[in-house]
Structure 1
Amino acid sequence: MSKKQLDKEEQALVDAFEAGEFQSELTEARVKELQEAADATARKDKRINIRISSRDLELLKRRALKEGLPYQSLVASILHKYIAGSLKDIESDNNHR
């Protein structure tokens, strides 16, 4: 595996980081706020039941196996990404071009 060469600006940033020239601006309060947000996001405290086709379920299970996680976790991840706005409909995007 070859190591990517850094340009001068990138190397200067790496050197500055390694020399300890960067300091975090995170306060303890902000760290606590971020930890609470992460905990709330990860907490799974509700259950839903849905009906999907057996074909879709089989494809979902195959994709989850490929990703190395339980299919329920994959569904939860997809739903979370969708409501957070980070899941794009590629097909829909292509139709609007």
Structure 2
Amino acid sequence: MSKLDAEEKEILDAFESGAIKRVKNRAREIAHHRKAAEATFRKDSRINVRISSRDLRALQKRALSEGMPYQTLVSSVLHKYAEGQLTERKVSKR
């Protein structure tokens, strides 16, 4: 077995101690979550956005550090914002 990080070890310990139980209808739950994931990540529309080359380079750099294509990062940020999971941060004026 590979080494577990702290979070993985905590989950494994909780499962082994009985604090975490398997869901009753596993197949139905998996199907439900798979359907939700497919609907969330379905790419059925295309947009074109003009941004500064500086912002594009920053997005590409951030995506590279996250290990994903920059288009995926942009799509994820837009999705989170649209769902209300990402909000505008107020910047105080100095």
Fold shared per TM-score above 0.5: yes
**Residue 70 and residue 20 in structure 1: after superposition, are their counterparts in 2 closer, same or farther (change >3 A)?**
same
Structure 2 gap segments, 5+ residues each? none
1:20-68 Cα shifts (integer Å, max 9, x gaps): 5753335343432221011111221221111111221121111111212
- Counterpart in the other structure of 2:76: 77
1:60-95 Cα shifts (integer Å, max 9, x gaps): 1111112121110110010111112211323x1x54
Number of corresponding residues: 83
**Residue 55 and residue 25 in structure 1: after superposition, are their counterparts in 2 closer, same or farther (change >3 A)?**
same
TM-score, normalised via structure 2 length: 0.66
- Counterpart in the other structure of 1:7: none
TM-score, normalised via structure 1 length: 0.65
- Counterpart in the other structure of 2:88: 89
Q: What is the identity, as a one-letter code, of the residue corresponding to 2:57?
A: E
Paired-residue identity, %: 48
- Name whichever of 24-33 and 58-67 sits farther off: 24-33
Q: Secondary structure at the match of 2:36?
A: helix
| Greater RCO, 1 or 2 (C-alpha within 8 Å, sep 6+) | 2
Q: What's the C-alpha RMSD, in Å, of the aligned pairs?
A: 2.9
